[in-house]
Chains A and B, each alone.
Chain A
Amino acid sequence: MAKTRAKPVIRRSTKTARKKVGKKSKKKPASGFKVLAQLAVAAPSDLTAAVKQEIRAACPAPPREITDDMDLSDDLRLTGDLKRGLAGAFQQIARRFKPGARISLDDCGGLTDVASAIALVAKRAGF
């Protein structure tokens, strides 16, 4: 068991991001992949960084840089068990923005790429 030296810094200074989301929410709701892409873009940078840090930590052989379009299974070699193992960490991130947010093992088991992971956490965090 390895412990961290320093916890990731998640700031609550997300006013800008929330304003952007608020403006977007007045528009007609988009669907499917467009929604995921919007959520991934609208998520605050500290949330995005925290999600990527968790994905990196789970990777058997992490690359130097993790980008939004990377496939969790094919590019990052995350098995179903490893993807499901992200649930607790993602839930912690989401709860920093929205106490009581819930992310389940099954939610994470169904993730396909990094963008979908960011979108899931952003959605549950209330963005």
Chain B
Amino acid sequence: MLLVASGASADEPESTATQAAASTSSDVWATFWKHLQIRQNTNVKKDIAKPAFVTLTIPDEGDRTYQIGFGALASVLSTSRVDLDALVDYQRNSAAASLQDVFKGGATGEWRLWSTSASGHHQTAILTYRGNYKNDNVKDSETWQGAIGYTHLFIGAAQQRPLPGDGLRPFIFPNLPRPFGSALEVTYFPLLEFEFDRVFKAKTPEDEGQVTRALGQLSVQLLPAPRRFNELKQQLEFLLSYAYRHDLRDTTNETDDRHPLFTFDANYYPVKGDRGDFGFGISYLNGEDPDEGFERQAYWQFSLKMRLK
């Protein structure tokens, strides 16, 4: 939905115009709030929305430590097949061996090549795109980033051609929840992407340059006893993700071309609603993510988590 306020016409009485403006303003805020998403990061929108977290440690002696993973998406434009969101992203970790302090601002979106429906296409390619500014306070660099990605969406059970057995699509279909009885529901999200970085400001001229990376990512979401937890208005989830980035072209002085990243999350949400979830969980991370300015390392993290859907 387009977040543009339309003003009242000049020939309307002032009170009507004021009321209309107030009404329009409240509509804009209602729309903004309704479509606001808060998640751990925004580098891959077509992904499992991991919850955001903020941890601040203030010891009696020594430095404060920050662990922040926060990304917000606000709708700018949305049609039946195309959308565009403004993004703000802040990742900070001063507790790990390799520091991270990255801010991003820009826009991201998706384009569904076909509309899916009962009588038409049962699947569609989804192209994702992103353009943003990145400020890395650890490397003291500024970068323009762009990304183009692809994944594929299949809508639910085939209605026109009933399938044998339980009538469900086989497990091989991506982005489609696959129930295994009432005990487990599994969804996997594949993504292929090309990322383009242009480092236009850095400590030294050698650090500046352009990088083109290819990304392959596979994320899996496991929901044990989903209906049971839904009855309780709670959710337990396990998320596994493996991303592999490879530098296809790099004119900076970085010598590492391979960037694997494995993450595991176990989250429990005792508070679950239509708009958002609040809970706590464990995260394990091993690898690196140059897109987020994250150097190679491994750590466990326990934290309170929150997401707006």
Footprint of B on A, CB under 8 Å?
1-8, 53-54, 56-62, 71, 73-75, 77-82, 85-89, 91-92, 102-107, 109-110, 112
Contacts and interface: CB of A to CB of B under 8 A. Distances in A.
B25 interface: no
A53 to B, nearest CB: 5
Given A60-B179, A74-B230, A81-B175, A104 B80 contact: yes
A20 B126 CA distance: 41
Given A1-B123, A57-B118, A88-B116, A103 B80 contact: yes
SS of A interface (majority): loop
B249 interface: no
B1 A106 contact: yes
Contact of A87 (B80, B119, B227, B309): B80
Interface-centre pick from A62, A80, A106 (highest chain B CB count, 10 A): A106
Interface stretch (B86-94, B155-163, B252-260, B291-299): B155-163
Contacts of B250: none
B119 A85 contact: no
Given A77-B177, A107-B1, A88 B123 contact: no
A104 B118 contact: no
Q: What is the predominant secondary structure among interface residues of chain B facing chain A?
A: loop
A38 B197 CA distance: 51
Given A8-B118, A85-B112, 9 more contacts: A5-B160, A56-B118, A60-B169, A82-B155, A91-B80, A102-B80, A103-B80, A104-B79, A105-B81
Contact of B83 (A1, A57, A102, A106): A106
24 contacts: A4-B160, A54-B117, A57-B117, A58-B116, A59-B156, A59-B157, A61-B157, A61-B166, A61-B168, A73-B274, A75-B230, A77-B226, A81-B153, A85-B116, A85-B153, A87-B115, A88-B114, A88-B115, A88-B120, A92-B117, A104-B79, A104-B83, A105-B79, A105-B82
Given A62-B157, A105-B80, A4 B179 contact: no
B121 interface: yes
B136 interface: no
A80 B78 contact: no
Contacts of A81: 46, 126, 153, 175
Nearest to A111: B274
Contact of B124 (A59, A85, A110): A85
Contacts of A102: 79-80
A110 B123 CA distance: 21
Given A58-B155, A79-B175, A85-B155, A7 B119 contact: yes
